[in-house]
Chain A
Amino acid sequence: MAGVNRKVLPGFSLSLGYTLFYLTVLVMVPILACFSKAASLSLDQFRAAVWTERTRAAYVLTFGASFAAAAVDVLLGMLVAWVLVRYRFPGRRIMDSLIDLPLALPTAVGGLVYASLYVKKGWLGQYLVPLGIQGAYSRLAIVLVLVFIGLPFVVRTVQPVLEDQDADSEEAAASLGATRWQAFQRVILPPLYPALITGFALSFARSLGEYGSVVFVSGNMPYKTEIAPVLIVARLEEFAYGEATAIAVVLLIVSFAMLVLINVLERWSKGGAARA
């Protein structure tokens, strides 16, 4: 195809050249600038920047909250995807469209509204706060808003796999006397594992870098509710560029590792769907 196309279709060097130029200028150079700035720090400076009590608390919170939110999203996303694919009910189409709202809604709006829903006088807070559930300005608030942000990733990963699942093995399970619950556990669920894990990873990766919504709901108290991106902004506002960059590089390396992992998972997920 290559040789033939390049002789017939025009614009190969123009389009590829422009693609590489734009990618380099807008993406690669900034990423390199970040790493080169971090490399200009001495090892001790780097360690002093990325490994203090405050940064450790921020990493633990960032990873912990993202992990918890992604785990909740797997459960809720599985439920929503199942209902959307398997059942017919009034409002199904609307529900299907609404699932994408967290992707389309500005994160600042999400943060603003979550912050005011769960305070003591808020619509939901008035019932929850008396029960001791602080859904705003707490760690729970961070998890809550991250659950919102991450939900579409799980639903949209599981949904197509569930749609493509064919009836044969389910029928076989039923005809061999399995109960509905046994069929779900042993026949329906296992082929969904790759998609569920991919959805978890996507939601987790998105949560790791999330800033706009969290900054509204968390209260941003050092050691308690300060996530890593908020810490970077705090360092920047002190004009401590080196320290901010060092923390940013830690986040970047983790994000790139997640990207590679997600790519591997997605391939596995598609393979799983094909086998199912």
Chain B
Amino acid sequence: MRESAPPLPPPVEHRIRYVREDPAWVRWSLTLAAMAVVAVLIVVPVVHVFAGALKDGFGVYWSNLFGDPDTRHSIRLTLTVVPVALAANVLFGVAAAWAIARFRFPGRTLLTALIDLPFSVSPVVAGLMFVLIFGLQGYLGPFLRAHDVKILFATPGLILATAFVTFPFVARELIPVMEAIGDEEETAAVSLGASGWQMFRRVTVPNIKWGLLYGIILCNARAMGEFGAVYVVSGHIAGQTDTMPLRVEKLFQEYNLPGAFAVASVLTLLALLTLVIKAGLERRVPSERAHVD
């Protein structure tokens, strides 16, 4: 044994951390810069919404929200339109994910791509499409008029426009989740004699529930906040076709800033709640999802 053995090199772990670690001044200045970016772009605006809403005290805030019949109506309308659009897209999302994640068929890749299409359509253009179909001069206009069915400038039009804009959310979340889970449990259930419905209820739904909830949360946030598409199809009839975001705009145009901020604060609370639920869910959904969006 040699007496004068050179000292062992430092453990590899330490060396790695050393060469990959930036000097403290770089770390701190970059972290502070990133914090400043997030503060100016995101935190200050959020704080400002609540400051603007509560400027004249809580009593005024409350009467701005619930004392104005048009604002009250906009809240009710949003609570009518969003659940219907959401339910339609959930049904579609589950069906599309089942077909795409569980079976191979010609045109499967194309179908997956087409599902994303509404994301690339400007909301205003989406609204315009429904005007072209259901408007008075539209393709179905004369027919609807003859039968006294109102779609445009009424709740059905708002639902259609909202459903179009939020179309991909649930399907996009569910497809990778279902693919990651695989079909073994479902195949087992069916070969043990479960009916299609039993398999779906006892195996599929429990497996995908967190992914489904994740998709619903994102879809809901976007549906609640949709502006451009519903702006075009609504006709801006106060107390009739104004959803909450449209109400914000109208109050803003009327220079009623406290009123606009009051409605905006409710929407902001919903957005913050969405982020909290989303952060909670991200820990439960299979890790694949981190790479899908």
> Could you tell me which A residues sit within 8 Å of B by CB distance?
1-2, 5-6, 8-12, 14-16, 18-20, 22-23, 26-31, 33-34, 37, 76, 79-80, 82-84, 86-87, 89, 91, 93, 95-110, 112-117, 123-124, 147-148, 151, 156, 160, 167, 170-171, 174-175, 180, 205, 208-212, 215-216, 229, 232-233, 236, 241, 244-245, 248, 251-252, 255-256, 258-259, 263
Nearest CB on B from A68, distance (A):
15
- A2–B106 alpha-carbon span in the complex (Å): 11
- Which residue of chain B is the closest to A184 with respect to CB atoms? B22
Across the interface, do B49 and A109 meet the contact criterion of CB distance under 8 Å? yes
- Which residue of chain B is the closest to A250 with respect to CB atoms? B125
A-contacting residues, B200-218, CB 8 Å: 200, 218
A-contacting residues, B76-94, CB 8 Å: 88, 91-92, 94
Identify which of B26-34, B57-65, B143-151 touches chain A: B26-34
Residues from chain B with a CB closer than 8 A to the CB of A116 are 48, 52, 257
Across the interface, do B271 and A106 meet the contact criterion of CB distance under 8 Å? yes
16 example contacts (A-B, Cβ-Cβ < 8 A) are as follows: A5-B183, A8-B190, A27-B118, A30-B130, A33-B129, A79-B34, A97-B276, A103-B222, A106-B225, A106-B226, A106-B267, A108-B267, A112-B249, A148-B42, A171-B20, A216-B252
Nearest CB on B from A12, distance (A):
5
Given A12-B99, A180-B22, A103:B124 Cβ within 8 A: no
Interface size class of B (residues with CB under 8 A): 35 or more
Residues from chain A with a CB closer than 8 A to the CB of B187 are 5, 8-9
Q: B16: CB under 8 A from chain A? A: yes
Residues from chain B with a CB closer than 8 A to the CB of A108 are 225, 227, 245-246, 248-249, 264, 267
Query: Which of B26, B98, B104, B222 makes the CB contact (< 8 A) with A15?
Result: B98
Across the interface, do B225 and A211 meet the contact criterion of CB distance under 8 Å? no
Across the interface, do B196 and A211 meet the contact criterion of CB distance under 8 Å? no
- A106–B31 alpha-carbon span in the complex (Å): 28
Across the interface, do B128 and A15 meet the contact criterion of CB distance under 8 Å? no
Across the interface, do B34 and A241 meet the contact criterion of CB distance under 8 Å? no
- Which residue of chain B is the closest to A12 with respect to CB atoms? B103
Interface string of B158-186 (1 = CB under 8 A from A): 00100110010000000000000001001
Query: Which of A6, A87, A98, A171 makes the CB contact (< 8 A) with B103?
Result: A6
Interface string of B267-280 (1 = CB under 8 A from A): 11001101110110
Residues from chain B with a CB closer than 8 A to the CB of A107 are 225, 227-228, 245
Residues from chain A with a CB closer than 8 A to the CB of B248 are 106, 108-109, 112
Across the interface, do A29 and B196 meet the contact criterion of CB distance under 8 Å? no
- A87–B27 alpha-carbon span in the complex (Å): 7
Across the interface, do B19 and A236 meet the contact criterion of CB distance under 8 Å? no
- A241–B95 alpha-carbon span in the complex (Å): 35
Across the interface, do B120 and A114 meet the contact criterion of CB distance under 8 Å? no
A-contacting residues, B251-293, CB 8 Å: 252, 257, 260-261, 264, 267-268, 271-272, 274-276, 278-279, 290-291, 293
Across the interface, do B191 and A8 meet the contact criterion of CB distance under 8 Å? yes
Given A109-B267, A245-B132, A212:B227 Cβ within 8 A: yes
Across the interface, do A101 and B245 meet the contact criterion of CB distance under 8 Å? no
- Which residue of chain A is the closest to B278 with respect to CB atoms? A100
Given A148-B41, A174-B19, A212:B116 Cβ within 8 A: no
Across the interface, do A27 and B249 meet the contact criterion of CB distance under 8 Å? no
Q: B5: CB under 8 A from chain A? A: no
Q: B7: CB under 8 A from chain A? A: no
